[in-house]
Amino acid sequence: MTVKLNGESLRIEDVIGVARREELVALTDAAYEAVRRSRKTLEALAGDPTKLIYGVNTGFGRLVTKCISANEIEQLQENLILSHSAGVGHLLAQEVVRAAMLLRVNSLAKGFSGVRLATLNTLVEMLNKKVHPAVPSRGSLGASGDLAPLAHIAAVMLGKGKAIYNGEHLSGQAAMRRAGIESIRLEAKEGLALINGTPVMGALLALAASDCKHLLEVSDVVGALSVFALDGNPSAFAEGIQNARPHPGQIASANNVRNLLANVPAGSQEGVQDAYSLRCIPQVHGAVRTALNHATCVLETEINSATDNPLVFPDKNEVLSGGNFHGEPIALVSDYLKLAMAELGNISERRINRLLHPDLNGDLPPFLVQDAGLNSGYMIAQYTAASLASENKVLAHPSSVDSIPVSGDQEDHVSMGTNAALHLREVVKNVGIILAIELLCGCQAKEYMDEPLPGALTDLYTRVRQEIPALRKDEEIYKHIEAATRLIWEESLMETVERSIGALD
Angle CA 303–307–312, to nearest 5: 125
What is d(CA 251, CA 365) in angstroms, rounded to the nearest whole number? 34
32, 54, 383, 478: the catalytic one is 54
In sequence order, what DSSP letters do the residues of 362-392 get, joined into one string? Answer: TTSPGGG-TTBTTB-TTHHHHHHHHHHHHHH
At a CB cut-off of 8 Å and minimum separation 6, what does 113 contact? 38, 107, 189, 193, 306, 308, 311, 312
Q: What does R_g of the chain's alpha carbons equal in angstroms? A: 26
Measured in degrees and rounded to the nearest 5, phi and psi for residue 431 equal: -65, -40
Angle CA 221–223–229, to nearest 5: 105
Element (H, E) at 133: strand 131-133
Determine whether 378 is an active site residue. no
At a CB cut-off of 8 Å and minimum separation 6, what does 442 contact? 222, 225, 226, 228, 229, 355
Q: For the purposes of burial, counting CB atoms within 10 Å of the CB of 327, is it exposed (0-12), middle (13-18) or buried (19 or more)?
A: buried
Element (H, E) at 227: helix 199-229
Q: For the purposes of burial, counting CB atoms within 10 Å of the CB of 421, is it exposed (0-12), middle (13-18) or buried (19 or more)?
A: buried
Yes or no: say if 399 and 420 are a contact pair by the CB < 8 Å rule. Answer: yes
Pairing of strands 318-320, 88-91: unpaired
Element (H, E) at 170: strand 168-171
CA 78 to each of CA 51, 121, 157, 163: distance values in angstroms, whole numbers, following the listed order: 22, 18, 11, 18
Residues labelled catalytic: 54
